[in-house]
Amino acid sequence: MAEIAIKQVAKRFGGFTALHSIDLTIADQEFMVLLGASGCGKTTLLRIVAGLETPSQGEVWIGGRRVDHLPPRERGIAMVFQNYAVFPHLTVFENIAFGLRMKKLPQQEVEGRVNRTAELMHIEQLLKRYSGQLSGGQRQRVAVARALAMEPDVILMDEPLSNLDALLRLEMRAELKGVLAASKTTTIYVTHDQVEAMSLADRIAVMHQGHIVQAASPVEVYRNPAARFVGSFIGNPPMNFILATKAADGSWTVAGLTLPGPKSDKQTIEFAIRPEDVDTGTEGLHATVRVVEPLGPHTLVTCDVEGGLFRAILESNATVAVGDHLRLAQTRPHPLVRPRNHQRALIQTPFDPESTTAP
């Protein structure tokens, strides 16, 4: 078992707090992605689990054993970095075997592990080559094979695909997910790329300013963000946020549209709507088209709604042009509603006149 428990971990660099009392449990064999913008603390947290940084407070447990006082070599982990760190003077075979030789394993076992992991990563035909003879994708496979050959309890990956071109990243994502599932290894993967996070993760921990804002499945994070930041960060394009003002009869007015909504003592609330959850109609938000972007499978339209930008993903054959006046109707029955200036809860509430849910 290689469950990871991070308990009240904080990290301070002088007067700057990089991590604020992080609590996170990662199940055995789970693929956990730490997602966030640069400077949010995700790499610092990974380095603390690895033993490359010492926490200012808190504990790290791996497989039921407290490890925050142990050096990296005693934690049962392997790491794959953004820089592949493939030794240029060694062949692919010797690169993969490097850690095994450091552990002084018998030659027969070394050869067996190298051959197995090379076959798993589809680089068995490259074992006699040197790194200078490899492409970027092949070097990445060597780095992953070297980590897997150690048969660690945990693999830690710090943006391992960021140096690859877009097409190769797509190929490696699919391959990596299958390989790590087959190896049954607990994985922590750091990235700022939401597409990587959504496609690879069993769960995503979204980080912001040293906090974990939400930790949930990719679908849950996407459809039910726990905070405004999550909705604005996840999605391409991200969620639209539009203010609604309470009318005298308790309904909500936004962009020329009157909507029944949640009962609340607030005078202003904010509706959060995904761009793909709207379509053109005879009723809806008053919008003026500013930009039209044909993207093949769909058309991305950027509109002006009450002086703010509102993005809608329409069918690829939608006939819209810059300057058109549209009515944007919501197709998803459960929008997210939140009080204005409240950074935490986004409450899922239907446009239902009988709703009594208050934000």
Which pTM was predicted?
0.84
Separation between Cα atoms, residue 64 and residue 60, nearest integer Å: 10
Q: Where in the chain is the domain with CATH 2.40.50.140?
A: 238-348
Domain with CATH 3.40.50.300 in the chain: 4-231
Q: What is the pLDDT of residues 324-357, one digit of tens each?
A: 999 888 777 556 666 655 555 555 544 333 333 3
Alpha carbon distance 97, 223 (integer Å): 44
Average pLDDT over residues 112-127: 89
* CB-based contact 50:44 (threshold 8 Å): no
pLDDT band per the 50, 70, 90 thresholds, residue 95: very high
Query: Which residue would you say has higher pLDDT here, 14 or 170?
Result: 14
The region that residue 143 occupies, defined by phi over 0 for left and psi between -120 and 50 for alpha, beta otherwise, is: alpha
> What gap in Å lies between CA 258 and CA 253, rounded to an integer?
5
DSSP string, 288-311: EEEEEEE-SSEEEEEEEETTEEEE
pLDDT band with cut points at 50, 70 and 90 for residue 112: very high
4-231 has which CATH code?
3.40.50.300
**CATH says 238-348 is which class?**
mainly beta
Cα-based distances in Å from 209 to 35, 51, 196, 212, 230:
12, 22, 21, 9, 12
Question: Mean of the pLDDT values across residues 37-54?
Answer: 94
